[in-house]
Structure 1
């Protein structure tokens, strides 16, 4: 079994919803469930040894628009969120993460040594991420607090605007070059992340914002859960020029399992073959090199191919990659080692 460290999941969102419904989020993760994609038992069955776990503030009733007769759709951007309620929610997510750690269900990792130790100990290695920084004010005081709690990765925006920058909508076909980039506060956020050693994730930002980060950061460029725009022209995917910049920085793209970002027609359809995933991996490897390609499943945040179904089925993708010729050290790089390399670089490890 090839062990997988995955670049993006929304399991905390699912567990938060469990808590709000009166359930026990820790028991759900520890004992297992049929809901969603990730829990402890399914992660172990699928060789999922850890991942970057998002603190994400939900955007109400946002639903991706149905495609028209031509297969096209444009979902309006989610409305901006107020800071105080966003902070309250983010603290609830962080509380669940800390309770999982106290229960021994996973370990919050702050270094690559922490990740490797957790894997060796058989404990799920979780890196805390903030997907959209609505919970953080322009003074960045909350950033320091979340950093102390273990936050080591963030995306300045989700697919909505905030005080730090502008996001891309869920739309097909559409370029990611659809609006402004970072605000003045966004540039200061990037600089603060550089100082602290917090990974900056470019997965939801506009192309202008991508280039704003690129000219400001001292880190490798990383898009944790994005795919190839030339193959699936949704606004969330990356252009060839962006891929070239990521490769030049020795950064990384994590393959998103979301079917809308894999299929040539951009549709949400679980009957998506694994060959579509391999097609994106092949393109990324050819364009950027084997050292810049990894996995960013979006487990618990997207409709994924039925052949995988959940974390327990992760080895189905591994088998498809092996069949396509990715074996030995190359397969290990895609499944976990590339993530550990770029995390170490973003965290200023020597």
Structure 2
């Protein structure tokens, strides 16, 4: 059996699975339970060598809330955004999730990485190379003191919002068809957050930001612009996808876009159901490469946070995706760039070595 191509991934929600069922975390992490998309055996089988592990604060859900997944399977739709969550409410949830990541490190199979040298060392040692990422800055107050605390704990990547508003800015609602121009830009606290992340060399993630917030970061940041898990709006006109104008801005900054595997962001009709075959993924990759260049595109799965294509299935299916790229005419050098080299290169440009 051939060795899988190493894949370094732009986004997963595995920590959310651990948060929701902490009593089973050992089995969830170390054994192949068949649940979700990720666990250590399936990572090994698929060549998943590391990536961004997201801390996401779930919104409180009332018993009479609509079935959002069902709505997203039947476009057109425009879902209301949840209310802002305050720092006091977010802090214990974030602490629990980071605690789970640190426990994973203590099992000896994962390393929390603070530099590209750490990532390379983890990969060489056969450990999963994990970047601590905040998908939404709710655990950070407007005074930014907590940003320095989290940075000391290993935070190296941060998205100011996950769709719902924060004290720092505004995200896009989940809507199809829709563009990303859905509201106001960064708040004064958000602009201060950008400057402080630049000073600390914390990567800023543009996924989930609305267009005005995207433009504010582009104007303020001195780092490459990165969207860890977003697709091409020209192919699938979802509010969560990036327009060609936004792709041009990312290209000019020498940034990167990680391809999101979520079916609703891949299918041209916006339906959130899984699909068979690889054509939607290939269309988005071809478009991203055409607009960004071969050195500025990666993979950003959204494993454990989205409904993904049937033929991919989970992390163990990554070799099937790689084979589909080969069959579409992608050479081995380009595949290696998409699978891991481009991510390491943009992190070097953001963090230094």
- The answer, yes or no, to whether TM exceeds 0.5 is yes
Asked if structure 2 preserves the Cα contact closer than 8 Å seen for 1:66 and 1:73, the reply is no
Provide Cα deviations, 1:196-245, integer angstroms capped at 9, x if missing partner.
Answer: 01000000000000000001111111000000001100000000000001
TM-score by length of 2: 0.95
Matched, 1:26 2:30: no
TM-score by length of 1: 0.96
Unaligned 5+ segments in structure 2 are none
Provide Cα deviations, 1:19-67, integer angstroms capped at 9, x if missing partner.
Answer: 1xxx231342022322111110000000101010000001133753645
Asked if structure 1 preserves the Cα contact closer than 8 Å seen for 2:73 and 2:273, the reply is no
Once residues 213 and 263 of structure 1 are traced to their aligned partners in structure 2, the CA distance between those partners, rounded to angstroms, is 28
| Corresponding residue for residue 36 of structure 1 | 36
Q: Any idea what SS the aligned residue of 1:253 has?
A: strand
Runs (4+) of structure 1 exceeding 6 A deviation are: none
Q: Any idea what SS the aligned residue of 2:347 has?
A: helix
Q: 2:228 aligns with which of 218, 224, 230?
A: 224
| Corresponding residue for residue 329 of structure 2 | 325
Once residues 88 and 293 of structure 2 are traced to their aligned partners in structure 1, the CA distance between those partners, rounded to angstroms, is 43
| Corresponding residue for residue 316 of structure 2 | 312
1:69 deviation in Å? Answer: 11
Residues 263/318 of structure 1: CA separation in 2 closer, same or farther (3 Å cut): same
Matched, 1:288 2:292: yes
Where in structure 2 are the equivalents of 1:163-312 lying within 5 Å?
163-312=167-316
Once residues 331 and 132 of structure 2 are traced to their aligned partners in structure 1, the CA distance between those partners, rounded to angstroms, is 30
Residues 118/65 of structure 1: CA separation in 2 closer, same or farther (3 Å cut): closer
Once residues 346 and 170 of structure 1 are traced to their aligned partners in structure 2, the CA distance between those partners, rounded to angstroms, is 29
Once residues 347 and 73 of structure 2 are traced to their aligned partners in structure 1, the CA distance between those partners, rounded to angstroms, is 43
Asked if structure 1 preserves the Cα contact closer than 8 Å seen for 2:72 and 2:264, the reply is no
Unaligned 5+ segments in structure 1 are none
1:167 deviation in Å? Answer: 0.5
Provide Cα deviations, 1:298-334, integer angstroms capped at 9, x if missing partner.
Answer: 0000000010111111111111111111122211110
Provide Cα deviations, 1:281-312, integer angstroms capped at 9, x if missing partner.
Answer: 00111111101111000000000001011111
Once residues 17 and 69 of structure 1 are traced to their aligned partners in structure 2, the CA distance between those partners, rounded to angstroms, is 24
| Corresponding residue for residue 20 of structure 2 | 17
1:138 deviation in Å? Answer: 0.7
Once residues 72 and 258 of structure 2 are traced to their aligned partners in structure 1, the CA distance between those partners, rounded to angstroms, is 29
Provide Cα deviations, 1:226-276, integer angstroms capped at 9, x if missing partner.
Answer: 000011000000000000011111100100000010000101111243111
Once residues 17 and 210 of structure 1 are traced to their aligned partners in structure 2, the CA distance between those partners, rounded to angstroms, is 31
> How many residues were matched structurally?
346
Once residues 272 and 216 of structure 1 are traced to their aligned partners in structure 2, the CA distance between those partners, rounded to angstroms, is 41
Q: 1:338 aligns with which of 324, 338, 342?
A: 342
Q: 2:114 aligns with which of 94, 100, 110?
A: 110
Q: Any idea what SS the aligned residue of 1:130 has?
A: strand
Matched, 1:2 2:2: no
